[in-house]
Amino acid sequence: MQKQLIQSVVADWGIVTDCRPISGGCISEAARVTVRDPDGKLHDLFVKSNRADFQANFRCEFDALNRLAAIEAIRTPKPLKIQTIGDRVLMVMQWIQTGTTSDFERLGRQLADLHRKSAGGRIGLEYDNFLGASPQFNTPAATWVQFVQENRIGPQLRRATDRGLIDTPTKRDIETLIEAMPTILAGRDDVTSLLHGDLWSGNYLFDTCNQPVIIDPAIYYGCREAEFGMLLLFGGCPPSFYESYNDQWPLPPRWRQRSKVYVLYHLLNHLNLFGATYLSQCGQVAQQMLIDMEN
């Protein structure tokens, strides 16, 4: 990112003295920006940049971070500003320094606390948002099963089909699963919660006080078991995370089996984002779910 462009966006906080690119993201450019305020003090900010038409994505993220913070269960970076300049849009956030240790027990407790404090009967969200760079549909539905069929698995399958990314046997298996969703999801809690929506090892960190911090949310209200789709797929959380979550708010029996629905959702999204590399995994998970239905 150009220093002059960043300076125009962060001018409210001071003069830019340093700008260091941050690696790890695959969607937006990111930088740690140090500014000197009028009193001579140095402050760090986190700045993301993308094409101007990415503004809607940043606005969804801005709102999501504020909503998660309002629950007062788990730390999030404070969003500060969004500004479009020319063909670029920039988002400024609080910089959070990563620590050297990881407290997964605390992460499990605080995630359960987030889900419990926001628990109710709401499903979906008043607007659609984004899962990574993909559209995520949040149209409220009468039941959670209907929401998963019409807003999660169904749209991802149609998108993969339209783009020629999915083979006929896998498509047929997933269509069978959509029809069988009332059976597959039976046994869950009826209560829904505010979910981060895209929680995996790249979207949480631990600060210098070992406090968990969640970032890059794709929020909506849904069954809390859906939170574990990406965690089971890419999360790498140790057993202590799941144990502490269950100590705080136990998950119903067979939650891991039901969570394969949400693993499949994220795999289909990765198929649509990154191509055929994820096709075999989609097929394997779908086939395992069909086997589970028979047992």
pLDDT digit string (tens) for 60-92? Answer: 999 999 999 999 999 999 999 999 999 999 999
Closest CA to 203 of 216, 193, 212: 216
pLDDT digit string (tens) for 151-188? Answer: 999 999 999 999 999 999 999 999 999 999 999 999 99
Share of the chain above pLDDT 70, in %: 99
Q: State the pTM of this model.
A: 0.96
Q: What is the pLDDT of residue 4?
A: 86
- Chain position carrying tokens 């001071």: 14
Work out the average pLDDT over 40-49: 96
**Confidence at 235, pLDDT banded by 50, 70, 90:** confident
Work out the average pLDDT over 40-62: 97
Q: What is the pLDDT of residue 47?
A: 97
* 24: pLDDT strictly greater than 80: no
Contacts of 254 (CB under 8 A, 6+ apart): 187
Q: What is the pLDDT of residue 89?
A: 97
Q: What is the pLDDT of residue 38?
A: 94
Q: What is the pLDDT of residue 176?
A: 98
Residue 33 and residue 6 in contact, taking contact as beta carbons nearer than 8 Å: yes
* 1: pLDDT strictly greater than 90: no
**Confidence at 108, pLDDT banded by 50, 70, 90:** very high
**Confidence at 96, pLDDT banded by 50, 70, 90:** very high
Which residues are marked as active site?
198
Contacts of 212 (CB under 8 A, 6+ apart): 74, 75, 103, 106, 107, 110, 111, 204, 205, 206
What the chain holds in terms of domains, given with CATH numbers, is 3-94 (3.30.200.20), 104-294 (3.90.1200.10)
Residue 38 CB-density burial (10 A; 0-12 exposed, 13-18 middle, 19+ buried):
exposed
Q: What is the pLDDT of residue 284?
A: 98
